[in-house]
A and B are shown apart, each in its own frame.
Chain A
Amino acid sequence: MTRAEAVARVADALRPDWLTIACNGLIGRELYAHADAPSRFYMIGSMGLASSIGLGLALVRPLRTVVVFDGDGNVLMSMGALGSIAAAAPANFYHVVFDNEAHGSTGGQCTISGRVPIERVAAAAGYGRTIRLRSAAELNHTLSTFFIEPGPAMLLVEIERCDAPSVGRVEPAPAELTVRFRRNAMG
């Protein structure tokens, strides 16, 4: 699957009231382009912190489902956060990692996720469920139940390494995204 296809398939499996934190780079931009919503927050800049933001949110809004859209470069940059998530163990926390073994937004330079299986690190840290898959058929099958069972859980989707696509930037200014998302999360 391409990044765009995988992001779209996961996004289409989310309910509109579920809170989504997207990491910086092309993953967040693909989500914005495919299906923007007030319940979606796009982090730019602070690479590695989407999972920590999602954890803080999940802890204070325990009745809301929280989904983090992450990338292999982001997770590797803040691997300690996997420990924080496992230790706090919020049942409403779901971590979806799109893994192309590359820094897709800066020119496709290799990461080390081909040699360091991220879902195994999460499992060792203490995530209740971790799944790695590759095909669209597997993804569709998994998505039918993944968010029903409690978290913290990680779904790692292997995606193709492709050229930087022409997907646009997230348009609202960061501070506008904060106001919009916070109103939705507190509602």
Chain B
Amino acid sequence: MTSYQSASQQFLDLLEHLGYNFFTGVPCSLFEGVTRILDREARYGYVSAVREDSALGLAAGAYLGGRQPVVFMQNSGLGVSVNAIVSLNQIYDIPALLVVSWRGHPRRPEGPEGRGDEDAPEHLIMGAVMEDFLSLLKIPFALLEPATMSQDVSELTRTMHATRKPVALVVPKGVLQQ
């Protein structure tokens, strides 16, 4: 027996410990490790959504039925989700934890080490404005750092409960891929 647990499993355990019990979203390679577990283990009841705004609708329905939802998405999906966030979640006081990958991070070149390649062109603009974009939409957010993961997600969850609005956990490259 090994006691080794992947970062992705530790992350899911933390979410469950904090009361999250409905999981939906659209995948991203930056949290591939998490969706691999969610797809494999039926007990999570993961609903693979067709679009990010539909995932927010699914999560809203689950919240109305008594659950505490998590919505996974790539940051490209934030663009798709804007109207759902502002005209569903925020005006109806429907909370959700948004786990949003940070493709196109302006300070973290995605290419092979040492070459400084940038991420694919479709991610560069959203990647550059991620923090401003979340702030503009008044979505409290935190960057997922392995060293402070537990306290950061706990704090964000407290904010979510207190405000009854969506909050975002931003996932950089390399943290939840395994």
Secondary structure type dominating chain A contacts = helix
Q: How many residues of B contact A (CB 8 A)?
A: 33
Q: Does B65 contact A (CB under 8 A)?
A: yes
Secondary structure type dominating chain B contacts = helix
The B54-95 residues at the A interface (CB cut-off 8 A) are 54-67, 69, 83-84, 86-88, 91-94
Q: Does B12 contact A (CB under 8 A)?
A: no
B69: chain A residues at CB < 8 Å are: 56
**CB <8 Å contact, A53 and B60:** yes
Q: A46-B87, A177-B92 are in contact. Are A80 and B50 (CB under 8 A)?
A: yes
Q: How many residues of A contact B (CB 8 A)?
A: 36
**CB <8 Å contact, B66 and A53:** no
Q: A45-B83, A46-B87, A46-B88 are in contact. Are A182 and B47 (CB under 8 A)?
A: no
A81: chain B residues at CB < 8 Å are: 50, 54, 57
A7: chain B residues at CB < 8 Å are: none
Most chain B beta carbons < 10 A, residue from A41, A52, A60, A182: A52
The B40-60 residues at the A interface (CB cut-off 8 A) are 45, 47, 49-51, 53-60
Please report the C-alpha to C-alpha distance between residue A80 and residue B69 in the assembled complex, in whole angstroms.
Answer: 21
- Of all chain A residues, the one with the shortest Cβ separation from B59 is A56
Q: Does A117 contact B (CB under 8 A)?
A: no
Residue in B49, B60, B62 whose CB lies within 8 Å of A84: B49
- Of all chain A residues, the one with the shortest Cβ separation from B45 is A59
Q: Does A44 contact B (CB under 8 A)?
A: yes
A186: chain B residues at CB < 8 Å are: 65-66
The A138-187 residues at the B interface (CB cut-off 8 A) are 174-175, 177-179, 181-182, 185-186
Q: Does A88 contact B (CB under 8 A)?
A: yes
Residue in B61, B63, B84, B92 whose CB lies within 8 Å of A55: B61
**CB <8 Å contact, A49 and B91:** no
Q: Does A128 contact B (CB under 8 A)?
A: no
Interface string of B117-160 (1 = CB under 8 A from A): 00000000000000000000000000000000000000000000
A46: chain B residues at CB < 8 Å are: 53, 57, 83-84, 87-88
Closest beta carbon of chain A to B57's beta carbon, Å = 3
Q: Does A73 contact B (CB under 8 A)?
A: no
Q: Does A78 contact B (CB under 8 A)?
A: yes
B49: chain A residues at CB < 8 Å are: 52, 84
Q: Does A83 contact B (CB under 8 A)?
A: yes
- Of all chain B residues, the one with the shortest Cβ separation from A60 is B65
Closest beta carbon of chain B to A46's beta carbon, Å = 4
**CB <8 Å contact, A43 and B64:** no
Other CB < 8 Å A-B pairs besides A52-B57, A54-B61, A56-B24, 5 of them? Answer: A49-B60, A53-B58, A56-B58, A57-B65, A185-B64
Closest 10 pairs between A and B when the two form their complex, measured CB to CB:
A56-B61, A52-B57, A45-B87, A80-B50, A49-B57, A57-B61, A56-B58, A60-B65, A46-B88, A53-B61
A-B contacts, 5 of them at CB < 8 A, read A52-B58, A56-B64, A84-B47, A84-B54, A178-B94
